[in-house]
Each structure stands twice: as C-alpha cells, then as structure tokens.
Amino acid sequence: MRLKGVPYTYYVVFACFLILFFNSGARYAFGVILKPIGSDFGLGRGSVSSVFLVNMIVFALSLPFTGKLYDRLGARPIIISATILLALGLFLTAKATSYLALFFSYGVIAALGISGTSIPLISAIVSKWVSKSEGMIVSLSLSGHSLGHFFLVPLIGILTERYGWRGAYTIFAAIILFVNLSLSLLVFKKPKEERLKRVKEAQILSSNNDIDLAFALKTPSMWFFAFMMFVCGGGDYFVVTHLVAMATDFGISQIEATNMLGLYGFMSLLGILVAGPFADRYGCKIPILFTFLLRVLLFYGISIFKSTFSFYVFSLIFGLTHLVTAPLTPYLAGKMYGKSHLGSIVGFINTVHFLGGGLFGYLGGSLFDMTSSYDVSFYILGSLSLLASLSTLPIKEKRHSLQEVSASSKDLA
C-alpha cells in the first residue's frame, strides 16, 4: 500500500536498497567459505578461485545484455528472472558434490542471477528516476549493499560455523527468493501516467543529443574510464575473495577475520555516503582519484606490515574505497553521454570492472599457490592503482556531443 504524499521514487530507492542488501550477502559469502570449500573438495586456492573467476566472467559479460534488456523492458521482469536464477544457483551450489557441479551452479547460474540484481543495474534504475542530487540519492540506495556486507558476512560466518557452508547457502537462497520476488511484484510497477509522461518528454528532449555505446567507445574518456574500472574491480574482488584467508594465514581466527570483512562492508557505506554528495558539489573525478591513491598506500603497506592491527587498518581503509565508484559510474556516464542509453553504457563499463575483479580474484589464489604468499599480488595491484589514479586525469567530465565524437573519429582516421 502506498502512503499518501510519499513520492514513488522513495519506494524504488528503498526496494533497491533491500535487493542490494541481500545481493551483497550472496556475493561476499564466497570469501568466507573459500577455505571450507577447498577443504570439502580437496582443492587449492587457485582451483577454488577459478570457480570465482568463471562466475565473474559470466557475470561481467552478461551485464551489457542485461542493461539492454532493462532499457527495453524495465526493471520488473529483469529482477524477477535474475532472482530465480540467483536463488537456484545458490541452492545448487549448496548441493554440489563435484567440482564440475560447483563450476556450473556458482560459476554460471548464480552469476547470471547476480547480474540482474547487482549494483550496475540497480544504480541505473535509480539514476533514471532522479534529476536532482543524483549522487546522494544513488548513494543512499547503494548503501544497502554496504550494510548487507556489514551485517550478513559475519552472519554467514556464524551460519557456516553452525550449519556448514552448504547450510548457509541454502538459507540465503530461500531468503533472496522471497524478498526479491516480493519487491518486484509490489514495488517495481509503472508509476502514474503523469510521471511517465514527464519522463518520456524529458527523454525526447535529450535523446537527440544522447550518445549510445557505439559512439561512446569512440571517445578517449571512455577508454580511460574503462581502464580505471578494470583496476578498480581487480582490487575490490582480490581483497573480498582473499581477505579472510590471508588474515587466517597469519594466525587470526576465522571469526575475527570474517568480522574484518564485515567491518570492511561498513566502511564502504561511509565511502559511498561521502562520495555521492561530494560528487554533486565538486564532480566525480576527485573522489575517484583519491580512492586510487589510498589503494597505492594500502597495497604497498600491507606487503610490508603484517599483524592483526595492520590487517584491521587495511580492512577499514580499503573498505572506505570499495564502493566509491559505484554511485559515480552511472553519474559520470550520464554527465558525459546522457541517460537514454545509460543501461548499456554502464553495463559495458561494469563488464570491464568485473572482468578485472574475476581475473585478480583468480590470480590472487594462483599466485598464492605458487609462492605461498600474497605479496606479488600486492605489488602488482599497488602499481596498477597508481596508473589508474593517473588515468582519471584525461577523462572529460562534461557532456560529449555527437559532433565532437564524429570529429574525433575523422581525426583518428
């Protein structure tokens, strides 16, 4: 039932908040159960991480397709379909008895489900509903992801201790199925006709100047943006996949290491709540640049200092940077290319982002198996973070025109 006087946008934002709350639990649970899965199947970290790599590749490559479907069909059918796939994938993962079954259930089915209930799609949904204070409102909706990370990751650790990782995944599959389907049916409806009319009129006025993905790929800003997001994803998912394992390697208990990953999620909430309003006032590039400079210090620092205190510092500060680019990606893309094709453009950018995440999540495990250390990964990601910070500088944070794109293409030819 809709409350009198409450704008429909608030319902959309709250629904997006809840979907991301549970999506983050499903996503980051893998870092908690990395060692238990390895023990259960008799696999090294590289082999277990390869399942995560496949999950991220399938997830990333499905994002542009999901974005196009969202542009055409709207949120409701996409979220319903993705929810069914995600719940089914988690349930089958819990029942897997072979490496191949784990590969297919988590690597493929769950990944397809995650793509339709994840930050890229949700941020595009919210961005299309707001016109003022966009950074702040998108950040509020995405805060569900951070709070889910903060509350659910430790809960997953407790459930895993009590019921095993299979039991924890079964419970989450049931919760996600119920919550997401309820929200899809009750909230993601078409707004009133006058709202539709205003949105359509605004799209008609802007669509003549909006740039689609094919034209956006002809601008240098897009490629600098894409490289930056590749490195961003690599750092994010290397850490969330291996933080618990690397902390327990140094004698920190499983529960305490899981709590570190939960605190990481809480700090990501602070990061996005600051980044959005800051971007409204000063632009998107400054918080992104600062994010990568912090990561340079963190990766090089943790390669030198390894103690309970240093792991807490690493977890808290890296968590602060984790979701800074999430609300800023659709915000910056909308500034540069308009919103008519936002789903496909954001889908492409995040495809690159999550391919980087999958690659470095896998490489982290493989390099550990070869060297019995994560130090090589720290050095590589620290150096790439420095290059990513420099790549923010050439990005033009302004509206690109079709005429400008055409001129650039002729110059290149």
412 CB burial (10 A radius; 0-12, 13-18, 19+): exposed
Task: Check residue 194 and give its pLDDT.
Answer: 38
pTM of the model: 0.76
Which region, left, alpha or beta, applies to residue 7 given φ > 0 means left and ψ of -120 to 50 means alpha?
beta
pLDDT in tens, 311-354: 999 999 999 998 888 778 888 888 888 877 777 788 788 889 98
Q: Which residue is listed with tokens 């980087």? A: 356
The pLDDT confidence band at residue 406, using thresholds 50, 70 and 90, is low
Distance CA 27, CA 111 (A): 9
Residue 338 has phi, psi (to 5 degrees) of 85, 175
Distance of CA 240 to the CA centre of its chain: 11
pLDDT in tens, 361-395: 999 999 999 999 999 999 999 999 999 999 999 99
Task: Check residue 280 and give its pLDDT.
Answer: 81
The pLDDT confidence band at residue 400, using thresholds 50, 70 and 90, is confident
- pLDDT higher than 50, residue 90: yes
pLDDT in tens, 153-171: 888 888 888 899 899 899 9
Are 46 and 360 within 8 A, CB to CB?
Answer: no
286 CB burial (10 A radius; 0-12, 13-18, 19+): middle
What percent of the chain is modeled with pLDDT above 70? 87
Give the count of beta carbons closer than 10 Å to the beta carbon of residue 410.
8
